[in-house]
Amino acid sequence: MSGTAEGTEQLLARRAQAQEREELARAKQHERGRQTARERIDRLLDDGSFTEVDRYRREPLGAPGTPRPEGDAVVTGHGTVDGRPVAVYAQDFTVLGGSVSLTVGQKVAKVMDVAAKAGMPIVGINDSGGARIQGGLVALTGYGEIFRRNVALSGVVPQLSLMMGPCAGGAAYSPAMTDFVLMVRQSSYMFVTGPEVIRAVTGERVDAETLGGADTHATRSGVAHLATDSEDECIEDAQALLSFLPSNYRSLAPDAPPGAAPEGHRDVGRIVPTDPQRSYDMRNVIRNIVDDEDFLEIQPEWAMTMICGFARLDGVAVGIYGNQPQVRAGVIDIDASEKAARFIRTCNAYNIPLVCFADVPGYLPGVEQEWGGIIRHGAKLIFAWTEATVPKLTINTRKAYGGAYGVMGAKQLLGDVNLAWPQAELAVMGAEGAVSVLGRRELKEAADPEAKRAELLERYRRELLTPYPAAERGYVDDVIDPAETRDKLIAALHALRPKFQDVIERKHSNIPL
């Protein structure tokens, strides 16, 4: 037998053994209601596009009996999603519990380096018991290799983390440093300190799901950007997110064919009550303006007074953030500030234009908010919007009072196009509060205080509580019929792409973290 034939035979034998191991792994994972690492990769990528890297890599020789499986506990490589290159790694829980060794860290780091050179997004599928105990301190250096690249590639290429199993201890910090974290309910969890340690140290009793499950991180901590009921739904959300993102910071998100204008876009103004005290769902306004009524909301169950998400206008991907009058009147609190600031910075990093829908009564008052640092956290939103250099468009649908007016896309904070609907109230405060302050003496001296109050309210609303004083000074570019909103936004968007804005040279800004 020739050397080539013998080598080929050996290769085929190794592949047959690998296939046998994969069949066993598949059976184990399916018993748990989960997919294998390779099945997850195949589900994410276009059919037949996956190219594996370091299939035969393993830990160096160590103590006798130390397991050294080929490929170790992670599958790495690259392929395409909708024809666009993507780097991917998937931890393999069926191999030593998906534990991270130095070799695992090096494999992931290698594919991240490929992503950096090629300028393509990275999708990490996490399902691991943590650092490999028998590896000692050396195993922890595997995490260090990954962490360093998470930081170096932040804002360079999009990084997505799909949580499909446990992620405990220091391992949780890698997903936390990526752009988007997607979790599966009743299947994945993230925490730095597990239930057993918490019980031993503090006496608190809590299970893993309550402590760090998908719903916990989607509703309470804000760690998870999206939570789904199944792995397939999680992967579909990842594919949808990638469709709105460019491959890297030097490029633009791919345009789609212009979508259909929603049937209700000419009647969108009817969604918003004229009474500033009445609530409505801002998502209905957004869906009646964007292409095909398609709006992918990010962190929909956390900090719900603020809405963030992706959509398209005439085929162009945009990031949308806005107040949600349906929840506590759309006030801005600590979590809402952080949610919007982070979203704005993500969009700006990847050249995605921003559209702000403003209807805000102000910041949430109270001792808890002040002691919690609303000043510091609220400043993040000001910082993020002002620093952003992408096209920035704002629609004032009904009201914007006081300091909250400034943080919701104000012209003074370098907004490019600011539009207002005719009923918009742009002022220091609402009519009731303003009259109580400005008309204190007149109300005290009036023979009929209620009649005087009504007179003062009517005068304040007529003279100051309209968008026209702001338009007269150029703070609002135009007061428009709500029916024109979609057309005006599309026109502004096309006029501002691409937008060039010089920035002051510096090492980096010092956002109030």
Residues with a known catalytic role? 169-170, 403-404
Helix (H) or strand (E) holding 315: none
How does DSSP assign 6-19, residue by residue? HHHHHHHHHHHHHH
Q: How many CB atoms lie within 10 A of CB 504?
A: 5
Q: Whole-angstrom Cα distance, residue 146 to residue 424? A: 49
Q: Whole-angstrom Cα distance, residue 369 to residue 66? A: 53
Cβ within 8 Å of residue 65, ≥6 positions away: none
| Cα–Cα nearest to 483, from 434, 442, 422 | 422
Q: Which amino acid is at 266?
A: R
3-state secondary structure of 250: coil
How does DSSP assign 258-285, residue by residue? PPPPPTTGGGGGGGS-SSTTS---HHHH
- In total, the chain counts a number of residues equal to 513
Q: Where are the beta strands (DSSP E) in 324-371?
A: 354-360
Q: Whole-angstrom Cα distance, residue 412 to residue 328? A: 27
| Cα–Cα nearest to 105, from 119, 93, 91 | 91
Helix (H) or strand (E) holding 340: helix 334-349
Looking at 134-213, list the stretches that DSSP marks H as alpha helix, in order from N- to C-terminal side.
137-152, 173-176, 195-202, 208-212
